[in-house]
Amino acid sequence: IIIIIIIIIVIIIICFMLKKKKKRLDNNIIKLVYINAFYHSYCFEQIKKAKSKTHHHFGKQQTNETNYYHEHNPNEQKTFDHFILDQRTKEGRITTRWLKWIVEKQDEVSLESLCDFMVKLSHTFIDSYQLSKFYFVYFLSQYYECVRIFVYRCVLGQGSTQTMVSNILASQFQDLSGLDETYRRKTFWMRTLKHDKLQINKEYWLEPAVDIGHHNLLTVSSDSTPKRHSQLPFQAGESVPFAEAINIIGELEKQDDIHASPDIGINLILEAVKLVNDVAMRYFENNKRSQGIEKPKLVPLGNDDLFPLVVYCVIQSRLENPHVCIRFIELILPEENTTMGQAAFSLSLLKAAVQYIINAAPEEFGLDADVDADHMA
């Protein structure tokens, strides 16, 4: 009888464990199906975009690389947030403890530690539900990026995290305010420079109807609710060379969006540089055709020609706080995202352009030295 009872108990335990395992497997399948569906829908959209638009190569070492990014969708993000914040799961308990800790230990938290937590949480999510085994290594990095971006938006969207980030920016980024003030002063007079003063190759330039004082061709956006002066968006009109790239760079001033999802920031930089490259090649073709060359030989745009164009776009963009924006992106995103690949290449171009502007002197462009002093606060 005792043996029979033991056997029955063992059977009950096994059934309970199998039921629990099945429930866990069902949860895994739900999450896997959701992530798979979203990831594949993103890939489908990317294929459509690639077919509808041709991008010229830039940055030779990155020409074969694809950069993963997906736009924020509130409904999709809400579904994913439920996976991460559910305290019945390991991820939910880990996240809850972290959010409580950053409130209690604000002085001990940094953007680097926040980045480290979100990266580890992304790996934990993938490992817990064995999502990685469904993909070959070739696709796994982009699949991980899909999950990581969701995790970042979830954690950075929490009120306690937003408060912590605001406090860090206020206390630890003060040294950048002086640099940004110098940058704004320089761009004020540099906006009046003609393209040849910036060493822009005329083959990659479109001669507008008015080729001086481009700031007069910028119009205030129809957005009636800017949050601060730096967010007052000036839109470059069609007559301004590289107008679309200029406007994209200006979007970096929407700091609240970037703080909630820094991937928005680095993706904007990447898209702007790609656009500068593409538009420059289009201008090159048009200029050659105007010279009677119907089928000009296209040569990839070199960095020596690309850099002055990026400098011009940054100057015209009304970007006012580039140092704060760049520092935040570098500290909050994983190191590989800011040091390797097309996005990192674009970020380095932006940094170099900002530094070039900071170091610029009016005399180098044939202007009176007093021009700079006149615009000091």
Q: What is the pLDDT of residue 35?
A: 63
Q: What is the pLDDT of residue 212?
A: 40
The C-alpha atoms of residue 246 and residue 312 are separated, in whole angstroms, by 9
Q: What is the pLDDT of residue 314?
A: 97
Other C-beta atoms lying within 10 Å of the C-beta of residue 350: 26
Q: What is the pLDDT of residue 42?
A: 60
Q: Which stretches of the chain score pLDDT less than 50?
A: 21-23, 25-26, 29, 47-48, 50-52, 54, 60-64, 209-235, 377
Beta bridge partners of 234: 220
CB 171 within 8 A of CB 343: no
| Mean pLDDT across the chain | 79
CB 182 within 8 A of CB 376: no
| pLDDT tens, residue by residue, 126-184 | 887 766 655 555 556 777 888 899 999 999 999 999 999 988 888 888 889 889 999 99
Q: What is the pTM of this model?
A: 0.78
| CATH fold group of domain 176-374 | Glutathione S-transferase Yfyf (Class Pi); Chain A, domain 2 (1.20.1050)
Q: What is the pLDDT of residue 76?
A: 83
The C-alpha atoms of residue 365 and residue 155 are separated, in whole angstroms, by 47
- Tell me the two tokens of residue 195: 């393209």
| pLDDT tens, residue by residue, 328-364 | 999 999 999 999 889 999 999 999 999 999 999 999 9
The strand ranges marked E within the chain are 218-220, 234-236
- Start-to-end Cα distance in the chain: 93
The DSSP letter of residue 105 is T
Q: What is the pLDDT of residue 107?
A: 81
Domain ranges of the chain: 2-170, 176-374
Q: What is the pLDDT of residue 245?
A: 95
